[in-house]
């Protein structure tokens, strides 16, 4: 299982193994990482699982799909590598990937 | 809070999962036990009528958390176990096998059950309701051999089911007793849109009709027809009934807790008993933001209310006061609903509801937006939530003018 590092806004780091095929959002939920709320459970409707991919990993994580991009337009602090973590499917290539979480999901 | 304390959660639901996580985060070190009459670890309900029914989503993807998460949380599960009685004085639960479980704190996350339609033939094979994973497994089994489906009830569950079964290649007819689909929850424009969406995808819709019986094959007991009040019949080899739910409040009411249309709780998810909280679809709760009490069937409600409930169990006051929101996926239309439209005096449309798949409806009361239905408009939905919370008079002309960016109507 690829190990992914989640960094909360306050700097708290979590290094967790996330199953290939699950989403970056599920990895956070399964490890009680608070910075991801995921109200809708991963259907790309609520915009409460926003994360910022470390620029070094942006290419591997890929860019947002159209629906996701529209939702991302409305997040408070959007960065170049912002994604909705429910839409990122974990692959073997993500071993070591770093994602940062925003101060708030609302 | 100490090790000798025991928090028991009844129901392995969305609310239950959030509650146990919040309890641990708030420092609950005592035992936590979840009791559920279902045999499954907590799973997501919204996809049951959507991706799981259509076959797009595998069963293991329904699980709310991986099993290791519950080990980390040190939560015990008692699955396949029905709680038959709550003894609030002794602070004990009595299970169907006679076992008694003592608690120091109790959370009722009992959810809701389907409203049943009893009529001649309603117990035939291939007549289903849709609420639990087992229901949908049974529907999928019946559907694998079916060609003609009849859905009784033109609400969100019925419409989502129609969409999923159509995708699976089954010919679907929706029967609605009212004069339009979604009559109780949406304005005419939204009803018309869904009628058009389903018609364009080959779904037949019959309004103002009342089913009074079902006929079956006398050898196999399988449903073959539904019968209307005028005696006419419609062929069906699978019938799905979606006519609403009833909150599971019996444990609470029999124990003497205050119950109305749901277990009555305050904004802290506290019931009328000091050591008992409740969260999710089973609660009739006070929402300070909406300045009223209401019962909701909604995942965001279950999760957010569960946070308040966990806080109450830990002696912390954390009010639940969120704007309700909902979503529904049918064919290529993704609906997001913000707020509660009940009591609106005017509904205005941004975009064109009569063609295509993209518009938003704003529900207005006292010149303020109280709710919005957004179809394939995630951005409008996000702004709508903020506009509702703003609680100021809205410029309706600007609201419906697509030339004006919606976010420009926000103050700040």
Q: Which residues of B92-122 are buried (b: 16+ CB within 10 A; e: fewer)?
A: bbebeeeeebebbbbbbbbbbebeeeeeebb
Whether residue B299 lies within 8 A of chain A, CB to CB, comes out as yes
Q: Per the CB < 8 Å rule, is A67 touching B299? A: no
The CA distance from A6 to A36, in Å, is 10
Q: Which CATH number does the domain housing residue B153 bear? A: 3.50.50.60
Mean pLDDT of chain B: 96
Helix (H, G, I), strand (E, B) or coil at B382: helix
Q: CA of A70: which chain B residue's CA is closest?
A: B379
Let me know if residue A105 belongs to a domain.
no
Whether residue B66 lies within 8 A of chain A, CB to CB, comes out as yes
- pLDDT at position B321 is 94
Let me know if residue B384 belongs to a domain.
yes
Domain containing B193 equals 127-241
Domain containing A57 equals 3-100
Question: Which residues of B fall within a CB distance of 8 Å from A32?
Answer: 21, 24-25, 69, 72-73
Task: Give Dmax over CA atoms of chain B in angstroms.
Answer: 69
Let me know if residue B326 belongs to a domain.
no
Q: Per the CB < 8 Å rule, is A70 touching B379? A: yes
CA B187 to chain centre: 20
Let me know if residue A82 belongs to a domain.
yes
Whether residue A41 lies within 8 A of chain B, CB to CB, comes out as yes
Which of B257, B284, B313 is the C-terminal boundary of a domain? B313
pLDDT in tens, B2-38: 889 999 999 999 999 999 999 999 999 999 999 999 9
pLDDT in tens, B228-268: 999 999 999 999 999 999 999 999 999 999 999 999 999 99
* DSSP per-residue codes, B248-281: --HHHHHTT--EESEEEE-TT-B-SSTTEEE-ST
Let me know if residue B361 belongs to a domain.
yes
pLDDT in tens, B291-344: 999 999 999 999 999 999 999 999 999 999 999 999 999 999 999 999 999 999
Q: In Å, how far is B65's CA from the nearest CA of chain A?
A: 5
Q: In Å, how far is B8's CA from the nearest CA of chain A?
A: 20
Q: Per the CB < 8 Å rule, is A43 touching B378? A: no
Residues B260, B229 within the same domain: no
pLDDT in tens, A5-59: 999 999 999 999 999 999 999 999 999 998 999 988 888 888 999 999 999 999 9
Look up residue B350 and give its two tokens.
């941004």
The CA distance from B142 to B396, in Å, is 49
Closest CA to B304 of B332, B276, B323: B323
Interface contacts A/B by beta carbons within 8 Å: 56
The CA distance from B159 to B242, in Å, is 9
Question: Which residues of B fall within a CB distance of 8 Å from A39?
Answer: 299-300, 303, 325
Helix (H, G, I), strand (E, B) or coil at A25: helix
Domain count, chain B: 3
pTM: 0.95
Let me know if residue B273 belongs to a domain.
yes
Question: Which residues of B fall within a CB distance of 8 Å from A29?
Answer: 64-65, 69
ipTM of this model?
0.90
Question: Which residues of A fall within a CB distance of 8 Å from B66?
Answer: 19, 26, 30
Whether residue B328 lies within 8 A of chain A, CB to CB, comes out as no
Which of B221, B241, B261 is the C-terminal boundary of a domain? B241
Kind plus residue range of the DSSP H or E element containing A99: strand A98-100
Strand partners, B157: none
Predicted confidence band at A67 (pLDDT cuts at 50, 70, 90)? confident
The CA distance from A30 to B73, in Å, is 10
Whether residue B24 lies within 8 A of chain A, CB to CB, comes out as yes
Q: CA of B22: which chain A residue's CA is closest?
A: A32
Q: Per the CB < 8 Å rule, is A46 touching B325? A: yes
B188-200 and B156-167 helices, crossing angle to 10°: 20
What are the φ/ψ torsions at residue A34 (nearest 5 degrees)?
A: -70, -25
Q: Is the pLDDT of residue B88 over 90?
A: yes
Q: Give the CA radius of gyration of chain A.
A: 12
């Amino acid at each position: 299982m690829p190990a992914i590092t989640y960094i909360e806004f306050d700097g708290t780091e979590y290094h967790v193994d996330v199953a290939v095929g699950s989403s970056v959002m599920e990895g956070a939920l399964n490890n009680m990482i608070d910075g991801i709320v995921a109200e809708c459970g991963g259907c790309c409707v609520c915009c409460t699982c926003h994360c910022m991919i470390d620029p070094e990993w942006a290419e591997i994580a890929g860019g947002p799909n159209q629906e996701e991009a529209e939702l991302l337009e409305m997040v408070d602090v959007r960065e170049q590598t912002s994604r909705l973590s429910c839409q990122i499917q974990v692959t073997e290539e993500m071993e070591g990937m770093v994602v940062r979480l925003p101060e708030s999901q609302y | 809070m100490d090790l000798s304390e025991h928090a028991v959660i009844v129901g392995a639901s969305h609310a239950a999962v959030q509650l146990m996580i919040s309890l641990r985060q708030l420092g609950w070190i005592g035992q936590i036990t979840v009791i559920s009459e279902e045999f499954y670890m907590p799973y997501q309900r919204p996809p049951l009528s959507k991706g799981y029914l259509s076959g797009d989503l595998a069963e293991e993807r329904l699980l709310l958390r991986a099993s290791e998460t519950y080990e980390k949380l040190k939560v015990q599960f008692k699955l396949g176990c029905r709680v038959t009685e709550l003894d609030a004085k002794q602070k004990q639960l009595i299970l169907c096998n006679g076992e008694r479980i003592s608690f120091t704190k109790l959370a009722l996350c009992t959810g809701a059950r389907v409203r049943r339609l009893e009529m001649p033939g309603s117990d035939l094979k291939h007549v289903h309701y849709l609420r639990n994973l087992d229901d949908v497994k049974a529907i999928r089994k019946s559907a694998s051999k079916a060609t003609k489906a009849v859905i009784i009830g033109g609400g969100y569950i019925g419409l989502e089911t129609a969409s999923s079964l159509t995708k699976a290649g089954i010919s679907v007819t929706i029967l609605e007793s009212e004069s339009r689909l979604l009559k109780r929850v949406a304005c005419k424009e939204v009803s018309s849109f869904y009628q058009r969406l389903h018609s364009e995808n080959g779904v037949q819709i019959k309004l103002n009709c009342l089913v009074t019986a079902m006929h079956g094959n006398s050898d196999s007991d399988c449903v073959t027809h539904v019968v209307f009040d005028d005696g006419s019949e419609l062929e069906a080899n699978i019938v799905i009934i979606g006519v609403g739910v009833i909150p599971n409040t019996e444990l609470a009411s029999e124990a003497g807790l205050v119950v109305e249309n749901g277990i009555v709780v305050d904004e802290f998810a506290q019931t009328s008993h000091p050591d008992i909280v409740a969260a999710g679809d089973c609660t009739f709760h006070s929402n300070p933001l909406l300045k009223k009490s209401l019962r909701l069937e909604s995942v965001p409600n279950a999760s957010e209310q569960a946070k308040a409930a966990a806080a109450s169990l830990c002696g912390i006051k954390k009010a639940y006061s969120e704007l309700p929101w909902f979503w529904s996926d049918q064919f290529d239309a993704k609906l997001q609903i913000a707020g509660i439209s009940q009591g609106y005096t005017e509904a205005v449309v941004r975009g064109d509801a009569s063609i295509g798949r993209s518009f938003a409806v704003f529900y207005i009361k006292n010149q303020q937006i109280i709710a919005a239905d957004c179809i394939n408009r995630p951005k409008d939905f996000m702004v709508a939530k903020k506009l509702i919370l703003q609680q100021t008079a809205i410029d309706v002309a600007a609201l419906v003018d697509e030339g004006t960016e919606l976010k420009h109507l926000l103050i700040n």
